[in-house]
Amino acid sequence: MYDIIAGVAIGVVLGTISGLIPGIHANTMAGILLSVQGALLVVAGPAALAVSMFSALVTHTFLDAVPAAFLGVPDADTAISVLPSHRMCLEGRAGEAVRLSAIGGAFGTAISLPLFAAFYFLLPSLQGYIDWWIGIILITFAGILILQSESPEWSFAVFMVSGILGLLTFRYSWLSWNTLGDSSFLMPLLTGLFGISVLLHTKHGKMPPQENKGVSLSLRDIAKSGTAGTVAGAVVGWLPGLSNASANAVLASIFRIEKEGEGFITATGAANTANAFLALAAFYAISRTRNGVMVALSQGDIPPVTTLLFAGALAAFAAYILTIVLSGSASLFSGIDARKLGFAVIGFVTILCLVFTGPFGLVILVLATMTGLVPYYVNIRRIPCIGAVMLPVICWSFGLL
């Protein structure tokens, strides 16, 4: 029990750091833990290392909602949800956006635990059929996204251009410095498409007073959104080649983000956390690693699955409390010049891209920003930009990559 508590504590600290700093993922923290595992084993047993890695992943899925809402800067997990979150920030409701995401994460944790058993025992025998259908499923959801848009022609064009940019990014990711691991090249891609391209059009004026009230969604709507998000995150957590961004793209075809932004934020919060738990199920059931944390787990002593599930639940509880507490800090942004804040954030993430991914990352950042600006000028939603993630996965599923 000492090893579990120690591991959870370390994981929560590292997951909080990775969640609050754009561009740093829990995968990075797993790599750090592997590099210092000798020292960690002196303090605690081998189970603590695995527990800390998984706890960091779960914690990250809660805390990454804070920079998405307060700063309008996404990571790979919050690419689409940053749009309604930052809009709520400009309406004085940033704290509510963070709380909704935390509630979704808690909901996703609660439902993921029974789903874990169902996936673990039932799906391995069906894996061959599941792998074959991935591309078809994503093409279906991409078609729904495009046809539901204001201009299907422009949406298709944006989807394809962003998809081609994603293909180039994945294909030549070896040019990236990969300072923070193999997935760091996603930072400039998604930051340009969903972050900087939005911040460049921030209007002049001061940030409105940030309210520190409850949430506007009813319990029924929370349950509905949380269930949808958990199912999407669970499916993506099991299927190969997919990420949280893919789950959020699927949810974007279900929710009308402009009118149902609160529900969408709750759903994506649930999806991100459910993805972490069901990725663990895929790791134990069929020995497939869905993210960098699972890869790191495979390189050490693997504790019983019940140990990691218990640790993940403890980490989720601690992360939920931390996220709710931090949501109250939204008032610190009241009265700040919105445009100056936006340009300060742009400068900060540009420096991060240079440090973490090198010149290759800056090129991708510029191209992604230019692509992300197109929806603004042709008056369509920015959701089709998720083609940057979906198109590479579709091509991979058909053996084209």
Partners of 206 in the beta sheet?
A: 337
Q: Give the model's pLDDT for residue 34.
A: 65
DSSP state of 123: S
Burial-class residue 381 by CB neighbours within 10 Å (0-12, 13-18, 19+): buried
Tell me the backbone φ, ψ of residue 50, rounded to 5 degrees.
Answer: -65, -40
> What tokens does 323 get?
């996220």
pLDDT of residue 303: 87
Please tell me the distance from the alpha carbon of residue 372 to that of residue 31, in angstroms, as a whole number. 31
Q: State both tokens at 228.
A: 């949808």
For 288-307, b/e burial (b = at least 16 CB within 10 A) is: eebbbbbbbbeebeebeeeb
The Cα–Cα gap between 183 and 29 comes to 13
CA 163 vs CA 104, 242, 294, 300: distances in Å = 29, 15, 26, 36
Q: What pLDDT score does 241 carry?
A: 58
Q: According to the model, what pLDDT value does residue 195 have?
A: 78
Q: In the chain, which residues have pLDDT < 70?
A: 22-45, 73-82, 131, 178-184, 202-205, 240-246, 253, 258, 289-292
pLDDT at 197: 83
Q: Identify each DSSP E strand in 252-309 by its residue range.
A: none
Angle at 75 between CA 299 and CA 329, to 5 degrees: 115
pTM for this model (two decimals): 0.79
Residue 157 CA: distances (Å) to CA of 139, 194, 365, 380, 387 = 15, 17, 19, 11, 10
pLDDT of residue 286: 81
The residue type found at 239 is L
Query: Residue-wise over 113-134: b if at least 16 C-beta within 10 A, else e?
Result: bebbeebbeebeeebeeeeeeb
Is-contact 106 98, C-beta < 8 A?
no
Q: What is the DSSP string of 321-358?
A: HHHHHHHGGGGGGTT-BHHHHHHHHHHHHHHHHHHHHH
Residues 6+ apart with CB under 8 A from 42: none
In the chain, domain spans: 2-397
Instruction: Give the residue carrying structure tokens 């601690």.
Output: 318
Give pLDDT, residue 290: 67
Specify whether the backbone of 301 is left (phi greater than 0), alpha (psi in -120 to 50) or beta: beta
